[in-house]
Structure 1
Amino acid sequence: VQSVLWHPIESTVFVTASYDKTIMNSLFDKRMLNIAGKLKMRTSEKTKGSKKRTHKKRKKSDRKNKNQEKERTRKRQRRERKERDIESSSSDSCSNTDEDSEAIWVEKKVELPHEVENYEQKIPSGSPSDARIHYRTQLIPSVAPRLASNPILSADELNKLKAKALRASLMNSPNAKELEKNYEMEKKRAEGNDKVEIVPIVDSRGRLYDTTNPSASSSSPKHAGPPRQKRNEKIDTHDETGTRIRYFKGDDKLQLQDLVMQERLGTGKSMDVQMAGRIMGDKKFEDDLDYLDEHADKMAKGKEQTIEQKRQFAVQDFKRSQDFINSCPYCFGEDKSPVAPMVSLGTKTYLALSTVTEMTSGHCLIVPIQHCLTTLELDDDVWDEIRNFMKCLIQMFHSEDRGVLFFETVISFKHQKHSVIECVPLPWNLSQDAPAFFREAILSTAGEWSQNKKVVDTTKGFRNKMVKELPYFHVWFNVDGGMGHVIENEKKFPGWFGKEIIAGMCDLPPDRWRKPKKLNPRDKHKRVQEFVKKWKKWDWTQMLEGGEY
């Protein structure tokens, strides 16, 4: 035997040998047959393994192709669904369309999927017949929409309609003008749905908005537009006889009646505020009389606002006030009641329970219905109801051998918080010592160089001693009054000042007064029922119409 060769494809063994007839039978003896059999078994095992691997690869590739095909069909269906929705929304907005009207078609080349070989589509007469390389989209006739049944389009739908009109104009489509008219009509309908609100002439503090033209009362002629400003415009300060007629440019724009109105309503800026603004804007300012004399004209000039700026300020201030009122937990809304658990309702005020952890049993609030920043802004009829609530609460807690303290804290007018009077009952012996505790605390809190009186005695009248223009803290020991304090530094004065003093008197933990937890709104009804059991006997609102329990 010279060589033994194995063919991997045909799985055969080729034996090359030099032989004669005498040794022919020896070539195929048992040993050679065993070798050939073993080689054949090995080759068969290898072929089986290779066939399994190729089968797995084919299945994996088929599965991948199927997933890709499914994804393509999903995307195509999603795209077709979007086009159908856009067309249906546009078709719903069209009216007076005849069924026999001719359809307008646009041809677009598209690559059809591989599995779609016999693709056929119903095509109107007169259109191209090669359906394999074209598909058709019917353009929606742009006709005046039916205002009665067609809903108003949203901002996104208007943008899509505008994009469609712009695309049609760029492609020189025959219905581009109709689409543009349709867009303008839908835009007018959407803008007509805007809510218009009338801005009041006074702000939340009762001050008049300055939205008038100051030069309207002067004798100068009216111009169509804003007057042109000149840098070095000369002003006649004296007449021909030498009598002074004005000091500065804007002196004759306001008459005496306008100045009196500004002073009464508080719309005009004070001289000190204007002077402080000039000093802050002057980098080279020197606190010297010579400097003030040299720059008197410059510091006295005022920057006049236009009518548009004044009106814009009034609109923004009104929006800000409405946002605070809408988020206020004590105000009534159009379709909602206050968040605070309400016990008794009067005509101008109501009695409510605290929304956070109570300091003592019976802790309640006297809340004006009107959103006010301080109770000093309220009218006499509102104060009559506040005093009625105070009297009834004093009698109720006195029957339990307890005293009661009322206090109000007004720190900042910027956030426009709803002002309330808190009522905290105390043991009788502690309530008698409360004036000494509060006086000592106020004196220690007030600064050494404070400009206002540290402790203001209000026993002869709270409304006559305190002013509504300044932040303050006030505590009532009885219905007639108590003591107050003007807050000069709003950042350093704590909002829990009154609660901290009461907590020190009663040895209460800090979580009762510093940052109390909000109570569960689900317990509101239960808390109100428990309070009403004691309050029903003393409730003065039962005398009002519909005030019975």
Structure 2
Amino acid sequence: MKQRQGAKKRQKDRPDPDSRNILEKPGQHTRELNPYWKDGGTGLPKEEKQAKRQNPVHGVGDNGVSWIRRAYQRAVQQAQEEGVPLEEIARRRWGSLEKLEELLARADGRESRDAGKRHESMDQLRMKGRKYEKGWKRPGDTSLHHHLPKKTLQEAVPEVPQVHGSEKSREDDGKACKVTKLTESEKNTLGAKIIKAEIMGNKELARQLQAKLDEARKYEDGLEGDGKEGREVEVVKTRIVSRVSGAGPSRRVKQDTHDSRGDRVRYFADDAKHSLHAMFEREKRTEGKESDETLLPFLAGKSQGATREDFDVDDLFVSRISDSKLVEKEEQQERKAAARESLGRQRAMESCRLCFDSPRLIKHLVVAMGKLTVCFSQPPGQLNPFCFIQAYLSVPGYASLVEGQCIISSLQHVSCCTTADEDVWAEIQDFAHGLVRMYEGEGKDVVFFESAMGLKHFPHLSIHCIPLQRELADLAPMYFKKAILECEQEWSQNRKLVDLKGKDVRHRIPKGLPYFFVRFNWKDGFAHVIEDERLFPQNFAQEILGGMLELEPTAWRKPQLERESQQWEKALSISKKWEPHDFTREILS
């Protein structure tokens, strides 16, 4: 058993004679499937080798065109050097001259077809990018290629022969450039060829055709100058307008944001159109609603135009028209807002209790009038004197917090101190200094405060004056400072406590903002910009002073209107005290 297994193993280890024959003579196995190995073949077809040997043109790069042309040039040079005809050299190398010319013609045909395909593909890309069939047509535009589709243009304009590098085409062009008399139909055809050549990008052909047309026109002008006159000639003007030359609107001029020294003068182009004060007042007046309503459709239109695939020149002009409509809409809204503001101011003045000309003013509450100033204007031929008073002093018609409380108001309707004129503010200061001197003899200090709130309803300026004993008045700054720091919300956009030491409220608070200010003896004090009027009480100062005086809350929350006799008594008492300190005794004339 072991001997048989050993014999089989030795037979397997022996080399197979058939495998040796396969390696030495490939393709001779009985199971070979390649028919080209039979009868001592090489395994490859003979016809492919013969075809490669017979084909002298190599398809590399330009498919052998340049190689055939160089071979033709070498044959011409060899014929000149040896002094034999070109047919002899061609017969030696290619068999005959006709065969060489056939190879040249075939190569030129391949090159022209490839160039035609390249021109056609570039023309399709150019037509797709510029969209001639949807281009915007200017009034009076007579050019065909701006609004006709490509198919119609090809049908309307005859085919223009392409210029190649062969000698036959050069000879044809030379013959075509001969000056002859052209009919109107031929001129129109030639003009159409010029247009098509420009569209296809063939500038050389367009230049040659234009030169031919110019020569023909000069020739006709010469014939007319020789005496051939008296016949009417119909002139057809052809206008060729480029897509780049002035078809659209001019580019917007970029505004300079820095001067020659490098300092910034503006941030946006319309900074000179809208001032910061006007923008702030409009924002506060509309609370940002109108600006948001205007901005949202503008952004939506911009994004829609940027994402649309068919956004073309027509859409660009439509978007610019919509921009102008937005500007007109904003101007119309501003006019309406100005009309509403004027109407609201008129209604506020009619119902105001502090305007001196208002019928609702209680006249017997007025203690003193401001300084009477007489001015003279000089119109032609006469002097026109006129008098005016800026402010007045009065007592409240309701129950006072303390004895001697009074109010300084402007004679005309002014909303707050920051919007008042310099003359009004100067007279208010004169009244304040007079009250400080008046109560100084009684051992009292005066607390002045104003709450400028609800400015869109056009309130009347009123500064309240509260005399306090000096021991209590010394604690007033601490009470007011703590109350201002704790008012409204914890976080604010503006500084909560503004110190008025050395400056008044007109130099500390921007014009147009609601505010509260308090001053002690018209020297030091504090101011606060009111950010949320719903969280800031209207009687803020009265609450603090009422707490210091330990009064009932009804004394400042809903004060009751006093009887007329009580009002007369208060007014006469303040008037007697004010008389020695009245600064209005001096009349300027």
TM-score, with normalisation over the residues of structure 1? 0.47
Instruction: Give the helix-richer structure, 1 or 2.
Output: 2
**For the pair shown, which has the larger CA radius of gyration, 1 or 2?**
2
